[in-house]
Chains A and B, each alone.
Chain A
Amino acid sequence: MASRTRLFRTASFRLVAIYGLSFTVASALLGAGVYRSVDAEVAREFDDRIGEESDALQGLYATQGGERLAQVLAARAAGGVFAYGLQARDGRLIAGVARPPSGKDGKPSLGWVEMPEAEADEAPEGAPEMLRALVTRLADGTYLVVGDEQRRTMGAMRAILVAFGWAIAGILALALAGGIWTSAQFLRRIDAMHGAARALMAGDWSRRIPVDATSDDLSQLARAFNRLFERIEKLLLANKHVSADIAHDLRKPLAHTLRRLEALRAPGDLKPEIETELEGAAADIEGVLATFDALLRIGQLQAGARRAAFRSIDLRDIAQEAAAAFRPSAEDDGRVIVEQLTTPFPLQGDRDLLMQMIANLIDNALRHTPPGASICVRTEADARGPRLVVCDNGFGVAETELNLIFDRFYRSEAAAFASGNGLGLALVAAIAEMHDLAYAASDNRPGLKITIVPNVGERDGAA
């Protein structure tokens, strides 16, 4: 069902629908024009026929007299197409059945009239047919009526209408079928592009959009995208090499320095002040190396590390483990970790990375709250799906900074006193993105609240 509505919402279907509608409107206008002119022509011919008949009868009256006319009328009425009437001055019908209708003054009205068919000609049931008739007054004061059933012209017009109706229905059906067909073709190719784009976003940079031999606009677009992807892949590869080179070249001298410091301290006969200084220097270098590792790791995650190690896991279990690991340290500093982990949060993921994500969130909460603070770790669920929340009742983050805390090296004013390298939440963001999870920070009134939810809507571009 969803795919069917998707079909109707494609650009190509809309285009075909617009064309189909335009053709229908044009056909309807053409039909109306034809109908009007044919109708006028048919009406004129109809009147001409009656007029000619009336003229002939008047001629007959002029040359052969009223009695002869009455005889002819009687004979014609029996087998002819027209309805006739010859009415004397006193209102008596001399011949035929059609009586001229009376005007306002009580006298029969002359000229063209519309009137119900006389009783004798009437069909056994139903309303009497309408006649269109020409009433003329003869020299002796009698009235001559010559008329015909209007239905005859209406039948012809109806046939024209029906023909146009079928033609319009045919155009609409063709437009719909054409729309569905072209849209299905279009969708198939768009889906291929979508699939390639998703694979690329997931880190499979070697993926390309399948291209057939045709050179229509979509194929050209696909080729252009493929060239773009090729370029991105090259850049990423270059970037990866640069990162690896930097990692190698910067870590090596740092490692050497670290070893020298270690060698200096090894004999153990140093003055305590020097020992302390050396230890501090070593710790600083280790800090730089740790920052370096975190940066490289974020880079790797963003470049789309392989997901082969992904398994079905429950984020709730990981949160439980993480909360348990941090609880003693939190308690020693006078903080509490409040767990509400009853709702499952199943997903496909890398256990170690998700553990780091939750550990970083708890770590962050512990380091940015005053002693005595309460830190919550909970899973919830509503109609939209499961949710992981890590919150605290500490100082919180200014509204304007909430969006920035996931940036690399971002440190809020309020957090200036806290330890850390400013990469903890950036790693959280990178790990979440890799797992197709969305993250958001909000005001916990007081404190900070970080929420992690599955990324819906990304799954199907049309959903």
Chain B
Amino acid sequence: MKLLLVEDDLDMAAHVLAGLRERGHVVEHTADGREGLSRALAGGFDVLALDRMLPGLDGLAIVAALRRERIATPVLFLTNLSGIEDRVEGFEAGGDDYLVKPFALEELLARLSALARRPTLGAPATVLHAGDLEMDLIQRTVRRGGVSIDLGPKEFQLLEYFMRAEGRVVTRKMLLEQVWNFHFDPQTNIVETHVSRLRAKIDLGQRPSLIRNIRGVGYSLGV
């Protein structure tokens, strides 16, 4: 994955750069908004991570300028405040996701990977596969190795999200936002309970589980 980080907090930028490079990604960094825009316009990035408040040109203005130029590179906003206005403004300007600072490196990585691998335009798949697990999005049915599995609506939605992100790390926060539309962290462990119920249904008694725990980060569905 090749990404551009535009961030003026140099200490944090160094941490992110080190972490991402260690995992084999190609990362460019600048602390200046205008410089960031010109590099993004030059193209070649899978994903952009932009700070909302930047010297020179702020994150919103960069995205707006990119979208005007019909550059659709996915953008992740890094914001200091989880304000409602911040989030709405970010999406309205053309951002694709947002992450409130401070964040765990794994959270950032999971979100960047999700954005970078967003399916390209084309006929959307109606049947998803992950190993011997098969999900029919039209019939709303799930089968594993020929055995039909009965899922509740939320469980179906959760599994669909996992299957679309097959092999990638999905964090608890991402699930809360994408599956439940919760833009806050409830005290109750609703994600854990739903995942454990889903596992009980799709694993059919086999071990290890199709959905792996990634300690301190989240989950990953993989065969």
A363 to B176, CA, bound (A): 15
Do most interface residues of chain A lie in helix, strand or loop, or is the interface mixed?
helix
Q: Which of B12, B154, B185 contacts A255 (CB 8 A)?
A: B12
CB distance from A354 to the nearest CB of B (A): 11
The segment from A61-69, A172-180, A246-254 found at the interface with B is A246-254
CB distance from B223 to the nearest CB of A (A): 24
Name the residue on B nearest A366 (C-beta): B188
Residue B101 at the A interface, CB < 8 A?
yes
Mask: chain B, 71-88; 1 = CB below 8 Å from A; 0 = not: 000000000111111001
User: Contact at B81–A254, with CB atoms within 8 Å?
Assistant: no
User: Contact at A420–B88, with CB atoms within 8 Å?
Assistant: no
Name the residue on A nearest B183 (C-beta): A352
CB distance from A259 to the nearest CB of B (A): 5
A328 to B180, CA, bound (A): 14
Residue A256 at the B interface, CB < 8 A?
yes
Residue A396 at the B interface, CB < 8 A?
no
Listed residue (B81, B181, B186) with the most chain A CB atoms within 10 angstroms of its CB: B186
The contact size tier of chain A is 35 or more
User: Contact at A248–B80, with CB atoms within 8 Å?
Assistant: yes
Name the residue on A nearest B194 (C-beta): A328
User: Contact at B190–A328, with CB atoms within 8 Å?
Assistant: yes
Residue A114 at the B interface, CB < 8 A?
no
Show the binding face of B for A, using Cβ within 8 Å: 9, 11-12, 15, 80-85, 88, 100-102, 104-105, 154, 180-190, 192-194, 197, 216
Name the residue on A nearest B180 (C-beta): A325
Residues of A within 8 A of B185 (CB): 290
CB within 8 Å for A367 and B154 given contacts A251-B102, A259-B102, A262-B105: no
CB distance from B187 to the nearest CB of A (A): 5
Residue A424 at the B interface, CB < 8 A?
yes
User: Contact at B186–A324, with CB atoms within 8 Å?
Assistant: no
CB within 8 Å for A296 and B81 given contacts A325-B182, A363-B188, A420-B187: yes
A330 to B185, CA, bound (A): 17
CB within 8 Å for A297 and B82 given contacts A252-B9, A325-B190, A419-B187: yes
Residue A353 at the B interface, CB < 8 A?
yes
User: Contact at A256–B11, with CB atoms within 8 Å?
Assistant: yes
Cβ-closest 5 pairs across A and B: A255-B102, A329-B193, A328-B193, A356-B184, A352-B183
CB distance from A294 to the nearest CB of B (A): 9
Mask: chain A, 395-429; 1 = CB below 8 Å from B; 0 = not: 00000000000000000000000011000100000
Residues of B within 8 A of A290 (CB): 185
The segment from A182-190, A194-202, A302-310, A438-446 found at the interface with B is A302-310
Residue A332 at the B interface, CB < 8 A?
yes
User: Contact at A359–B80, with CB atoms within 8 Å?
Assistant: no
Residue A355 at the B interface, CB < 8 A?
yes
User: Contact at B102–A258, with CB atoms within 8 Å?
Assistant: yes
Residues of B within 8 A of A321 (CB): 180-181
- Chain A residues 100 to 120 lying within 8 A of chain B, measured CB to CB, are none
Residue A279 at the B interface, CB < 8 A?
yes
Residues of B within 8 A of A293 (CB): 82, 100
User: Contact at A255–B101, with CB atoms within 8 Å?
Assistant: yes
A248 to B81, CA, bound (A): 9
User: Contact at A352–B84, with CB atoms within 8 Å?
Assistant: yes
Name the residue on A nearest B189 (C-beta): A329
Mask: chain A, 236-267; 1 = CB below 8 Å from B; 0 = not: 00000000100110011011101100110000
Residues of B within 8 A of A362 (CB): 188
Residue A326 at the B interface, CB < 8 A?
yes
User: Contact at A326–B181, with CB atoms within 8 Å?
Assistant: no
Residues of B within 8 A of A259 (CB): 12, 15, 102, 105
Residues of B within 8 A of A289 (CB): 102
CB within 8 Å for A309 and B154 given contacts A255-B101, A293-B82, A359-B184: no
A262 to B16, CA, bound (A): 12
Residues of B within 8 A of A262 (CB): 104-105
Residue A380 at the B interface, CB < 8 A?
no
Residue A350 at the B interface, CB < 8 A?
yes
Residues of B within 8 A of A71 (CB): none
Mask: chain A, 339-352; 1 = CB below 8 Å from B; 0 = not: 00000000000111
Q: Which of B102, B181, B187 contacts A352 (CB 8 A)?
A: B181
Residues of B within 8 A of A356 (CB): 182-184
